[in-house]
Structure 1
């Protein structure tokens, strides 16, 4: 593991003196023409010149936009100078970047390594009226899947992909292509032009406009940017050129969708490490700033992508001052005192509660083949490596010392080669069930498929029975199965699974069903998730009635853990917690035959363990998706919650845009609950 350094490192020892002079020239308030050999810096010069053309014109971007609309209404430009005057700095940047990318493609087609500058194809005319020299384009490179022989489509089909481009919809008007999509947030505009207005400060209220995608503050007298800028998480373009800025706020790193950042003509000497989160950045305009020579060398050698990755990978450690507390709960469901750890709470247990309770964890561990550099570009490369994450996962799981572990996204080979040996040494026995695609694969490929597993401590539980299923096959075998169009087209090809274990709690003699699952991920298939839960609960009821035909299934001790990929206001949550789904928008138009006709209903009494907290602030934390989608459900007539692992420290979370990182090895966080048997419900004798 590479340890982050506290500050930019010194220039390489072998750096020649003339190179040092070049860096000094580059870092000055003006740039020497000798730097024209760098295509990156040629781009800087061209766009810095374009930025200076707009100096002194109030609301320059708005004026250019108005001229574009006028020209569009006239069916095209009447004079070349009018077309030139209508082009904004953003327009010119887009065109020059496209020209550079096209130059790289042309060089690649000719068998030339464009990144080395070994050959220079004919330059294309840039929008700024100057030729663009091909070279290292400042765009984020596509990363290859590591350690995998499977198709990327197969491996990444369950993950939430979200890529944004810089759109002109809000500037071109309501009739522009794609404008309707932008209006879905209720806003008719998404750009704010405050350029060249002699502003000396900004009201924090400005940053309440979280819908902004473009913010133009160039040509003012600003000496600082407020930290509240972190609220503009939809921002794609920020122009603060020609102000009096000496530094950038670390909070700017939270604007993870930023594509173009213009700093021309300020006094910025260094960049905060937090800017390493700006992994979507395509252009950084820094000409005219006395930027640190070492940072500038990285920028000119490796373009903006290399600079961002350097800041990302070498960011100093952010200490987790306060770990997640364990909140004790009374028998009446009231929140009680908080312990510093699960172990502290466990060590204080006495009497009946100690004899009749146990702890359970549910955790999506993020399968290594889903944790690709492309999917998690904001995570330092060393912290994303499987060797590092695997060790952190082991330390984290063992530290909580839970009696039952329900894990999701565990690769079959990792289960056998890593988790089984590690956890057996600590007194656990486990069971695993892979997604059904594994049955269609051969050899190594089948071993790389993920699934769900449950481990339990041998001195706390003994295994009585095991069952597992995939939802599609289980439903096709159901006596009331119907081949509806929605089932065939939407649900049948999903290979999600569930694992059921019947355990006996040794100390109390009580029996318990522990279940874990991982539902389909895609929000476009929320109806399928409801269907999958309906099948899961129907199967659970069948198991309970089989072992006790005369017993009320609501009184059976049952825990259902997993990644449900569903919000607290979803049909899935409503179904599990209320017993049925009635007229929910996610399912009203879908037909899954008998399952839909009975409103996906079940006869179990279930509630979320975390409902007494109103759920956690999040269980899944990424830049484009932060919400509660993981749950531990318990049967309310047989069990009660006596403790819960609390939220992650908010101050710590505010310094990141997502997990995994060096402290949290998955994009999910583990859920832990202490559960107590209410009374003897199984009729089992004590052991």
Structure 2
């Protein structure tokens, strides 16, 4: 039941009724117009109705609907609080009595439904089927209506049960208002706001504070323009602007991707806008504005936050040295420590000089303190660190559909545009190691390998599991993880590719649980674990890259996937610290796994309050954690799970970023770079997106940011490894040394 708040009238307004019955097929101008007493739609008072062109667009279905809604709106011009009064009447009218007159909003909802029915009927006819037009028998709602009803019910429960807010609409129609109090826009729970039939000359930009608003009626005012900020009100479904003085619409309206009805009749609009509305309706106008919108705002470059090494403090401090001092200090450190580090945990290393590798130039530091701006060229991060790494979900082309990203102009969503922006962004950051998610084989072969190999990178790729069951032509469209490393600075020692579902199947305690088969086995997420050696120092380092399952309803699956990943990482670490493996024999001074530098990048689809984050950060999770509630996963749910890798999120050094994933209904941190604190320290981090910039956009991708995620980048320094007694010399076991086959099943 919809409740209203009225100001300036006697009636308080009760619950809203459902309005008149659904409109079923037929000529819109006839059945609806006759029932409402609207007469001939051509007499609605629209401008320019004498010209031949005007006659053509006025006869269109879309414009007839415009005129019908506008005429109904005009009928309430002398009836203050018309919406609230209608709701009050509906609440007192028993079912089966005379139909209640429609409000403009109710008429708009029915017109939208009729258009959808007719579209579906046309599709069915083209397919040789039978169309079902109108409301289903028995009063059942169709899926579209049901979805809206469920969403309204969900929001109502939030308002009532959590916010204790029992009304979500305000009717200020017909009050002769010339301006609005700013306090009105503090009611951020509002879903419907009626300001029609007043004398408003402008709409304050602060209207965007109404983040739940679905209906806004501004008809019959004196508006000559709309604020660009209205484009941020992406929750709007119905926006009525009948009978104002609007000549042009702001391009920002193009981001209102959920708008069902835009009421424009009675405005001196351009012929272009009228023709688009007549031919393609509201969706056509919105798309036209979105596609034609100029790019007027630039995205400020992200700054590098550099930290001073502090061996007596676990937290890094801002480094106040100048770029020249940083470079000189780094050069001195390399010269003095290269010989000592050379044998620090390794038996041999290549002596290649890495000083000329792109990505180590101090010229990219453009400030005199601790930050620098990215440029459009491959300058890379400030080179005061031992190595740098990036994690970035690039948004696979196949997933960047207009349906999912309807707020993005088609030209900015297309792969031809996005791939150039992605490449420019990644090259500009220029880290030594690049970990990408959502990279399919097509883009890997055609874009990433050719382009990045020219910059000195070697490439690795592992697609999701379904690719291994498909023909090659289809498999190359499946996304996966990719890793690129600068071979002048880093060399690959070994690689391991992980399919989480297959790995789970090999665990004895998992084989007996139904949840493994019903929830884990049908998810084909993957990970890469690569062991590297730094060329200059011979230091061993392990880098992992993963992409966990996306669905919030499967938090348990994500936790299982992470538990499997951490277990595999521990096995790799154990190989290099063992005295009975060839790997351990090659690195005799690595006696403690905590001394092996470890970095784990990825899109974890898990927020900072999740079990996934807790397991990484705290090293353990109880089997009773709420993310595992009601599930059975053997030891994980019986005893919990732990790891001994000593990991920390690199960005927790400064507090996690405001977001790493930016979409209309989800602005959260779900991407992380984890590192081993015993062997690495953070030297620098790529900072956040400028908050002032994001205020102008509903979400990413946009013309400046080609993915719905943002890249993370960190610089790390190796911590000095204390001398340890060599491993016990024993007869090595040179039996089956294959990592994959030696694992217990």
Aligned mate of 1:53, from 75, 78, 87? 75
Distance 1:339 1:634, change over 3 A: same
Q: How far apart, in 1, do the equivalents of 2:302 and 2:725 lie? A: 36
> Which of 480, 500, 505 is the matching residue for 2:529?
500
Q: Distance in 2 between matches of 1:33 and 1:386?
A: 41
Greater Cα shift, 634-643 or 539-548: 539-548
Which residue is 2:253 aligned to? 275
Matches within 5 A, 1:450-599: 450-478=479-507, 480-549=509-578, 551-582=591-622, 583-599=624-640
Answer with 638-647 or 206-215: which moved more.
Answer: 206-215
Residues of 2 paired with 1:204 and 1:324: CA distance? 34
Partners of 2:145 and 2:456 lie apart in 1 by 44
What residue in structure 2 maps to residue 362 of structure 1? 391
2:469 and 2:554 mapped to 1: Cα distance?
23
Equivalent residue number for residue 398 of structure 1 = 427
Partner Cα distance (2:145, 2:495) in 1? 42
Give 1:360 deviation, angstroms: 0.5
Q: Quick check: 1:327–1:339 contact (8 Å CA) kept in 2?
A: no
8 A contact 2:530–2:544 mirrored in 1: yes
Question: Which residue of 1 is the match for residue 95 of structure 2?
Answer: 75
Question: How much has 1:479 moved relative to structure 2?
Answer: 5.0
Match of 1:671 in 2: 712
Give, in whole Å, the separation in 2 of the partners of 1:462 and 1:521. Answer: 32
**Equivalent residue for 1:609, pick from 650, 657, 661:** 650
Deviations 1:123-166 (A, max 9, x none): 999xxxxxxxxxxxxxxxxxxxxxxxxxxxxxxxxxxxx99965
Q: Secondary structure at the match of 1:268?
A: coil
TM-score scaled to structure 2, two decimals?
0.75
Secondary structure of 1:234's counterpart equals coil
Note if 1:97 corresponds to 2:137.
no
Question: CA shift at 1:271, angstroms?
Answer: 0.9
The CA distance in 2 between the partners of 1:432 and 1:207, in whole Å, is 50
1:351 and 2:304 aligned: no
Residue 248 of structure 1 aligns to a residue whose secondary structure is coil
Q: 1:223 aligns with which of 162, 177, 201?
A: 201
1:590 Cα deviation (Å)?
2.3
Matched, 1:336 2:314: no
* Aligned counterparts of 2:628 and 2:326: Cα–Cα separation in 1: 42
Q: Equivalent residues in 2 for 1:409-488 (5 A)?
A: 409-478=438-507, 480-488=509-517
Distance in 1, Cα, partners of 2:725 & 2:491: 13
TM-score, scaled relative to structure 1: 0.82
Moved more, 50-59 or 342-351: 342-351
Residues 30-69 of structure 1: CA deviation (Å, up to 9, x unaligned): 9987754121111111101111122232322122112222
Which range moves more in the overlay, 473-482 or 530-539?
A: 473-482
Secondary structure at the aligned position of 2:546 is classed as strand
User: Does the C-alpha gap of structure 1 residues 413 and 569 become closer, same or farther in structure 2, counting only changes over 3 Å?
Assistant: same
Distance 1:533 1:398 in 2: 29
Equivalent-residue separation in structure 2 for 1:619 and 1:107 (angstroms):
42
Which runs of structure 2 are paired with 1:95-244 in the superposition (5 Å)?
A: 95-107=110-122, 166-167=148-149, 183=160, 186=163, 187-244=165-222
- Which has the higher mean CA deviation after the structures are superposed, 527-536 or 319-328? 319-328
Contact 2:308 2:319 in 1 (8 A): no
Cα 1:255–1:399 change in 2 (3 A) is same
Instruction: Tell me the distance in 2 between the aligned counterparts of 1:180 and 1:636.
Output: 44
Change in 2 beyond 3 A, CA 1:661/1:393: same
Note the C-alpha offset of 1:617.
0.9
Distance in structure 2 (CA, Å) of the matches to 1:621 and 1:339:
34
Q: Which moved more, 1:631-640 or 1:47-56?
A: 47-56
CA distance, structure 2, for counterparts of residue 338 and residue 188 of structure 1:
54
Distance 1:207 1:240 in 2: 15
Shift of 1:76: 2.6
Over 3 Å counting, the alpha-carbon distance change for 1:337 and 1:61 in structure 2 is: farther
- Classify the secondary structure of the residue corresponding to 2:645: coil
Distance in structure 2 (CA, Å) of the matches to 1:430 and 1:629: 25
Report whether the alignment pairs 1:634 with 2:675.
yes
Q: Give the drift of 1:344.
A: 12
Are the aligned partners of 2:237 and 2:260 in contact in 1 as well (CA < 8 Å)?
Answer: yes
Q: Can you give the 5+ residue segments of structure 2 that lack an aligned partner in the other structure?
A: 1-41, 136-143, 335-382, 580-590, 727-745
Contact 1:210/1:232 (8 A) holds in 2: yes
Taking only aligned residues, the RMSD between alpha carbons, in angstroms, comes to: 3.3
Paired residue total: 605
Give the stretch that moved more between structures: 475-484 or 556-565: 475-484
The offset of 1:301, in angstroms, is 2.4
**C-alpha distance in 2 between matches for 1:344 and 1:660:** 38
How far off is 1:233 after superposition? 3.0
Report SS of the residue matched to 1:369: helix
Deviations 1:457-515 (A, max 9, x none): 01110111111111121122235444212222211211101100111111222111000
Which of 1 and 2 has greater Rg?
2
Q: Which residue of 1 aligns with 2:65?
A: 43
